[in-house]
Amino acid sequence: MEQNGNVYIQDLKSKDAGYGKPIKVNNTLYYIKLKMPSMLDHVQIWLIKDFDKWVLVDTGLNRHEHKEVVSEIIDNFCGGKLSKVIVTHFHVDHIGLAGWICEKYNVELNITEAEWLTAMVSFLDIKSNFFNEYLDLLKHLGIRESDIILLKNSFKWYNIYPLPRKIKVVQEGEHLEINGENWKSIICQGHSPAQLCLFNQNQNLLICGDHLMSHLVPVLGFLIYKPETDLLGGYLRSFEKLQFLNANTLVLPAHGDPFFDPINRMQELSLIFNDELNSLLKRLNTPQTLGELVAYECPDRTNPFRLRFYIEKYLALTNYLIKNKQVRKISQENTHLFQKV
């Protein structure tokens, strides 16, 4: 069996690892794989032993099936004893059930302030008319009318159980004590505003939500109130904070296989984005709208989530290039065009 200290990789990477039951990483750390009905077919959430209780990191979707699986495991495997819930970021597969679990087991939600606020705003937005602003923005970016209609429903995805109004705010660099060990908080930008990663130095383990994954490139999802933010710059800068990791660090992501050597993965991701930026720059010798850039790479217009992925990708790339003064935005008759400087 491949081993790193007391971490049993074979158990963790087993292809037939079952959904909906605790899977052992080591004596104090387990994960639960939950099935998802979306482009990503699963999410992993984590259980860390905390003396005679357990800490739950991330929670699954606000859906009956996930409620059943997660509460059954907390009741039977954890003896109904949680000491806290930690959430990495505001996306529904991570925070969906946080409010419900905190209420049911009477524990505090630990989260960064920006993720909690973004979740609260997104939750309120679902009940409001904000989609019109979203749709206006897409129109200015040159997204076709038919695509906007396709996208409309995909923006109503934010279904979470109402969150607690009182939380424990996790700060950058804070040490969360669990089972007598320190888990250092590292707050990373890009995929979401202030995603919480947790590093255990004793065990050389990093729980990182969606920040680093073995094969997936994270979505850099823009927020309607700040669509011009340089998310890619924030994402790449966050790698600097993680340079203290090493080849033996085991990374535990929310999607896909756990993997070693985050330094190598960050280099791969930097190269991927670098290639993307270079090929985009070449295309922007001729001014183009974001809609034209997306149409070139995403001819399939049947899946709104795929389409949205490309919109978010090109928005992140163009914002990065504008911030670095390599591209300028030209506004013509209410439509924005991007051109190489």
Helix axes 304-323, 290-297, angle to 10 degrees: 130
Shortest separation between residue 264's beta carbon and Zn ion, angstroms: 22
- # residues near Zn ion by CB under 5 A: 2
Separation in Å, CA 159 to CA 120, 196, 248: 11, 21, 37
Our CB check for Zn ion shows the closer of 43 and 293 to be 43
Tokens of 186: 């590292």
Shortest separation between residue 150's beta carbon and Zn ion, angstroms: 22
Shortest separation between residue 189's beta carbon and Zn ion, angstroms: 13
Tokens of 24: 């052992």
Tokens of 165: 């109004």
Per CB under 5 A, 115 contacts Zn ion? no
Shortest separation between residue 94's beta carbon and Zn ion, angstroms: 6
Sign of CA dihedral 157, 161, 162, 167: negative
288 secondary structure, DSSP code: B
Q: How far apart are CA 66 and CA 38, in angstroms?
A: 14
Our CB check for Zn ion shows the closer of 181 and 312 to be 312
- Amino acid occupying residue 243: Q
Q: How far apart are CA 201 and CA 338, in angstroms?
A: 45
Residue whose C-alpha is closest to residue 54's, from 84, 76, 24, 27: 84
Our CB check for Zn ion shows the closer of 33 and 91 to be 91
Our CB check for Zn ion shows the closer of 43 and 321 to be 43
Shortest separation between residue 129's beta carbon and Zn ion, angstroms: 25
Our CB check for Zn ion shows the closer of 47 and 196 to be 196
Shortest separation between residue 289's beta carbon and Zn ion, angstroms: 27
Stretch that binds Zn ion, among 7-15, 89-97, 115-123, 232-240 (CB under 5 A): 89-97
Q: How far apart are CA 315 and CA 319, in angstroms?
A: 6
Stretch that binds Zn ion, among 84-92, 119-127, 164-172, 312-320 (CB under 5 A): 84-92
Number of H helices, E strands in the chain: 11, 17
Our CB check for Zn ion shows the closer of 189 and 288 to be 189
Our CB check for Zn ion shows the closer of 219 and 293 to be 219
Stretch that binds Zn ion, among 30-38, 72-80, 90-98, 150-158 (CB under 5 A): 90-98
Our CB check for Zn ion shows the closer of 59 and 83 to be 59
Q: 100 phi and psi, to 5 degrees?
A: -65, -45
Residue whose C-alpha is closest to residue 6's, from 173, 181, 177, 175: 181
Shortest separation between residue 135's beta carbon and Zn ion, angstroms: 23
Q: Which of residues 189-248 bind Zn ion (CB under 5 A)?
A: 210
Residue whose C-alpha is closest to residue 12's, from 207, 296, 163: 207
Shortest separation between residue 30's beta carbon and Zn ion, angstroms: 21
Element (H, E) at 137: helix 131-140
- Which of 33, 49, 66, 91: binder of Zn ion (CB under 5 A)? 91
Closest residue to Zn ion in the complex (CB): 91
Residue whose C-alpha is closest to residue 58's, from 7, 20, 111, 11: 111
Our CB check for Zn ion shows the closer of 99 and 218 to be 218
- Report yes or no: 228 and 319 within 8 Å, Cβ to Cβ: yes
Binding site for Zn ion (CB under 5 A): 91, 210
